[in-house]
Structure 1
Amino acid sequence: MSGEHAGRFDGRIALVTGAGSGIGAAVARGLAAQGADVVVTDVDGAAAGATAEHLPRAHPLTLDVAESAQVDTVFDEVVRRHGRLDVLVHAAGVDDPVAKEWIAEALVADRPPEVTRRLGDDAWRRVMRVNLDGTFHVLRAALRVMVPRRSGGVVTVGSSSVFDTQAGYPHYAASKADAHAVSQSVAKEAIAFGVRVNTVAPGPTETGMAARTPAALRRGFADPRVRSYATAEEIADVALFLASAEAANLVGAVVLANGGRFTV
């Protein structure tokens, strides 16, 4: 995080989902370094606590974004403690390690992946509940808090896989595409009330999720013509820009941050 942005979020109250690791944790660190009071949330409460303990003015809370009642309770707690919410970065999300293994096995065997006909309802719903339903729950709660004050900056973390879908990964691609659409629809509604919503769509990024990706699949993402895997901090920098006053004219944007792998 560049020192030139010190103080960019002075006096702001921020909430980050999925902040126990990866992009969410990097965003929480960046917000704190730039002056914000940060509510650090994660489905893994211990991980949220581990992120928060190294930050000034940080408070950890356990949050499963797939559970709407939990989301509402956390946002109510933020308002009770701080009186408002100025910035939200929604980074919580899940992948499907089993489907990734099936894709990797196909790559190693030099055959097309066969996932869709093997994909169970539970696997489909798990990804959709967190990545899509969770995005709706969080955006709804944010607007309930921000709209009455006619102010707020919201960033959702999507995926470049929306535009370059992975064979054998239909539930993840669908969940992120739908989350982009939800974010953009909410953005067009919310701006009338002074609340900006935007999305960053990362390509391959070095996170705990990426570390669990099978080696064969990681090699499949390698391309010497483009930048290698982004760092979580690089994606966090984009999210922080979108949340800041510097991005005042960006509403409903989907910023593709994939190191040049493709454009849209």
Structure 2
Amino acid sequence: MRTDARTERFADKVAMVTGAGSGMGAAVARQLAAEGARTVVLADVNGEGAAAVAKELPAAEAVELDVADAAGVDAAVQDLLHRHGRLDVLVHAAGVDDPEAKERIAAALVEGRPVEMTDSLDDASWRRVMRVNLDGTFHVLRAAVRVMRPFGAGVIVVIGSSAAFDTPVGYPHYAASKAGVHALAQAVAKEVVASGIRVNVVAPGPTETGMAARTPEVLRAGFADPRVRPYATPEEIADIALFLASDAAVNLVGAVLLANGGRFTA
């Protein structure tokens, strides 16, 4: 954990981070704790992973949570409210990719043939990505707004993806899910700013997470462009998320910050 002049940005704040068992979510949770948060609730479908990260932190607790389970999300947020009195900061980093689709895209590239995915993409694969990425974001946003609105304050940061803009070939379900996440967050942001709640989005490019580790080498090599920055670290994306969650970003509402190291602009 880094400590610097920002260490009190989140002093006395009650925070929740989804997808906090690894990657960007874990980096966000660690930095919130380092910057003075009174409590950080780490939520992840991998409860053991969330618990392991929470053990590192001075004032943190873990909860096993599948964001696709609407009732489970509501219960987790209401339990946080009951035990801690309020929710000040919510960073939603939970999401999934499609490793099988990545393997099929990689095979096509290696064999020098066109990527053909849409006509063979099955309903189960489509629904899995949508259920977690888009439905899950709705569940988390709704639950957070329900507990923040009565207080007239709160900050929500959603982790989206640059794939919503460059729409990778062979990855229509993932690109569509993240584009939906961006539009959903922006629509909610315009509504809830009148209630004192700010909602913004970080749209990372390639980042060294568990998802990246499962990416076939031929696809990773496609991102190796010497003209731009290499894969981001989870901590670099966490810095952007926590800037949006801080008072320094008070005038940002419904923003989608593209954090892809200069690969493209939108």
TM-score class normalised by the smaller sequence: over 0.9
Query: Partner of 2:10 in structure 1?
Result: 9
Aligned to 1:263: 265
Give 3-state SS (helix, strand or coil) of 1:4's partner.
Answer: coil
TM-score (norm 2): 0.98
Of stretches 25-34 and 103-112 in structure 1, the one that deviates more from structure 2 is 103-112
Q: Which of these residues, 99, 104, 107, is aligned with residue 106 of structure 2?
A: 104
CA distance in 2, matches of 1:222, 1:120: 31
How big is the alpha-carbon RMSD for the aligned residues of Structure 1 and Structure 2?
0.7
Equivalent in the alignment of 2:30: 29
- Off by >2 Å, runs of 4+ in structure 1: none
Aligned counterpart, 1:238:
240
2:221 to 219, 222, 232: 219
Deviation at 1:2, TM superposition (A): 5.3
Give me the whole-angstrom Cα distance separating, in 2, the residues matched to 1:99 and 1:234.
27
Alignment of 1:25-174 (within 5 A): 25-36=26-37, 37-174=39-176
CA deviation vs aligned residue, 1:31-64 (integer Å, no higher than 9, x gap): 0000111000000100010110000100100110
Identity value in percent: 67
Look up the equivalent residue of 2:86 and give its one-letter code: R
Aligned partner of 2:212 in structure 1 is 210
Cα deviation digits, residues 216-249 of structure 1 (max 9, x gap): 1111121111000000000000000000111000
| Aligned equivalents of 1:4, 1:164: Cα separation in 2 | 36
Deviations 1:13-41 (A, max 9, x none): 00000000000000000000001110000
Q: CA deviation at 1:118?
A: 1.4
Q: CA deviation at 1:4?
A: 1.8
Give the TM-score normalised by structure 1. 0.99
Letter in 1 for 2:257: V
Aligned mates of 1:111, 1:22 — CA distance in 2: 33
Q: Counterpart amino acid of 2:18?
A: T
Indicate conservation of the 8 Å contact 2:118/2:172, yes or no: yes
Tell me the number of residue pairs that the alignment of Structure 1 and Structure 2 aligns: 264
